[in-house]
Structures are given as structure tokens and as C-alpha cells.
Structure 1
Amino acid sequence: MSARILVVDDDRDIRDLVAIKLEAAGLDVVTRADGSEALDAVREGGWSVIVLDVMMPGMSGVDVLRTIRDAGDRTPVILLTARGQEKDIEAGFAAGADDYVTKPFSPRALLARITAAVE
């Protein structure tokens, strides 16, 4: 599977872990550290899937997602977050998320979700 994945998380360890696992599966991965960088990357286009942290300094992942959707971009977005309460999950889907993964997470399960979103 050849796919271009954007991974956005303010935690370097998580960004690196996800990138390593996805690259090992043959995916092209680009990482960004915050919402502003994420929007710049999204504007470049060509993404197969965007993996987006919710709780980031400045612009939250939900705000980034709303901006993406308001611009008409329908790229699959998987929210990756420590916020696992039902109201948080509902808010993520209401903002336009295609999937919602809570931390701590299994990198293999995240890869499976990305694969499903690409196919």
C-alpha cells in the first residue's frame, strides 16, 4: 500500500513512534508539531490520511479539523487523543472526524485503521 500520511502531534515521542511504525509498513509519513504547521501541510494537499492529536497548544486538533472540513477537504482524518470521554468522542465526530483513537493506543491498531481509511 502506497499512501501519504500526515501525523500531527505536539508530543515528539508519539510523532516519532507513529512515524516509525507507519514507515515500517511502507507508508510515506510527514510529521508536524502543531495546528498551524498542520494547516500549512494540509494546504499542500496530496494526503491519504491525516492523523491529528486533539490537545495541542494554540490551535486544537478539533479546530484544525473544522478548518479542514470548512475548506471542503474530505481527506480521512483520524483523531488521536488522550480525551476518551463520550462527549469528547462525540465532539470529534461532530467536527468531521472519520475515526477516533484514544491514547494509550496500539500502533498496530492505528495502522489497521489507517489502512481501512485508505482503501
Structure 2
Amino acid sequence: MTKILIVDDDPMIRYTLQEICEFAGFDSLALENGKEACERFNEDEFEVVLVDYYMPEMDGLETVRALREMSEQVPILVLTVDEREETVQGFFEAGATDFSLKPVRAPDLISRLNLHLELSSMKRHQQNKRREVWVTKGISENTMNLIVQFLKEQTQPVTIEEITEGVGLAYPTVHRYIAQLMDEEAVEVIPHYRKVGRPKNQYLWKTAKS
């Protein structure tokens, strides 16, 4: 059964959210603060997290940021009465997936939960297919993560030689992994024209410019 993690310091809201989840056929665990949520998050396989904004000990922003560090995939929905643009932007930058305004309306919340569960399922399916391709090509997930992390840290395009130096791997290995990232359209290829000789390709992680 789908399991939802609820984080809200108001006992009545926790009760209401659990009732909505039960009505929709979801299992749920309701906790009163972000600290407890972070402690329990890795103990169970939660498929969606509902997080209140204003809470003691750890507010919603801190909680979202901490949970996102533990999982890049799980959808995190923020519950708030604050519609200010800077608040919304702050949560998105912290890793929130979506918002639901208080007071919570059951049909709206259930619709959002179902949508993000479906999107999450599709993403997991795509990732599984991607891993199957990697296995057939001899691509190591740890090595790929090392190269991707290096690319994400760069604000300017880099050559394969620079990547090789930055991650401490052999040139042929980096070249093979960059080729895979190009197949997945995850990097932008930027020709660098020199005064003499052929242009040299540089690579930039596609989100680096956003």
C-alpha cells in the first residue's frame, strides 16, 4: 500500500490529513516536526511527503532541504497559507515538488497525490530502463555519479582533459561516460575554436545555465 509521510505540528491537521489519506486508500504516518520526520524517513519507504511550513525545531524549508538530501526522487508537497513568490521560490530551490494551500481541500490534495505518485512511478520505470542500458554498456553508477557531480559543479564548459583531472579517472573512461551523457542529452557540447587546429569540444551540464 502507498505510504505517505505527514509532517505538521497541528494535531487537528495531522488527523485531517490522515483521514484524507485513508479515504484515498493510502497508508500514512503523521509526525509533529521535521526533526522526527528526518529520523523516520529512511526507516520506511515513503512514496510522498506532505510538509507544513511553520513548525518548531525545524520549519518546512529546513525539513524539505534535509529530506531532499536523503532522496532526490520522493515527491515533497508543501502545505502552507503563504502564497508569496519569495516563499514559493525558496521552497522550490530547497527541493519541493509542489504546493497545496491551506485549508486543505480533500479532492485537490488527493488529485495532487495521485498525480505525483504516477509521475514518480514513470520516473522509476525510466531509471530502471536506464540502468539496464548502463549494465549492457559496462557503465558503473558510482563512476557516473562522480562525473555528473563534477559537471554539476562547473559554471563554465570543460574539456574531457579537465574532467579527467577533476575526477581522477583515465581519459578513455571519461570519454566513454561523456558519450553516454551525450546520448542521454544530459550535457551540452560546445565547440571551442582555437587559433590553430581543429575545434576542441567542451561540455556543460545542461542545468548549469539555468
Q: If the length of structure 1 is used for normalisation, what is the TM-score?
A: 0.92
CA distance in 2, matches of 1:39, 1:70: 10
CA distance in 1, matches of 2:82, 2:40: 24
Choose between structure 1 and 2: higher helix proportion: 2
Partner of 2:88: 89
1:111 aligned to 2:86?
no
What amino acid sits opposite 1:70 in the alignment? E
Structure with the bigger RCO (C-alpha within 8 Å, sep 6+) is 1
On the 8 A contact 1:21/1:107 being kept in 2, the answer is yes
1:105 Cα deviation from its structure 2 partner: 2.5
CA distance in 2, matches of 1:85, 1:79: 13
List per-residue Cα deviations over 1:82-116 (Å, max 9, x = no partner).
22211111111111111011212212101110111
Which residues of structure 1 form unaligned runs of 5+?
none
List per-residue Cα deviations over 1:48-84 (Å, max 9, x = no partner).
1000011101111110111122234421100011222
Partner of 2:163: none
1:18 aligned to 2:22?
no
Partner of 2:66: 67
| Secondary structure in 2 matching 1:14 | helix
Sequence identity percentage = 32
| Secondary structure in 1 matching 2:42 | helix
Q: If the length of structure 2 is used for normalisation, what is the TM-score?
A: 0.54
1:41 aligned to 2:35?
no
Q: In angstroms, what is the RMSD of aligned CA positions? A: 1.2
CA distance in 2, matches of 1:33, 1:47: 16
On the 8 A contact 1:92/1:100 being kept in 2, the answer is no
What amino acid sits opposite 1:8 in the alignment? V
CA distance in 1, matches of 2:67, 2:56: 18
1:57 aligned to 2:56?
yes
CA distance in 2, matches of 1:21, 1:30: 12
On the 8 A contact 1:49/1:76 being kept in 2, the answer is yes
| Secondary structure in 2 matching 1:52 | strand
What amino acid sits opposite 2:68 in the alignment? R
From the superposition, tell whether residues 95 and 68 of structure 1 become closer, same or farther in structure 2 (CA, over 3 Å). same
From the superposition, tell whether residues 30 and 83 of structure 1 become closer, same or farther in structure 2 (CA, over 3 Å). same
| Secondary structure in 1 matching 2:28 | strand
For the pair shown, the structure with the greater C-alpha radius of gyration is 2
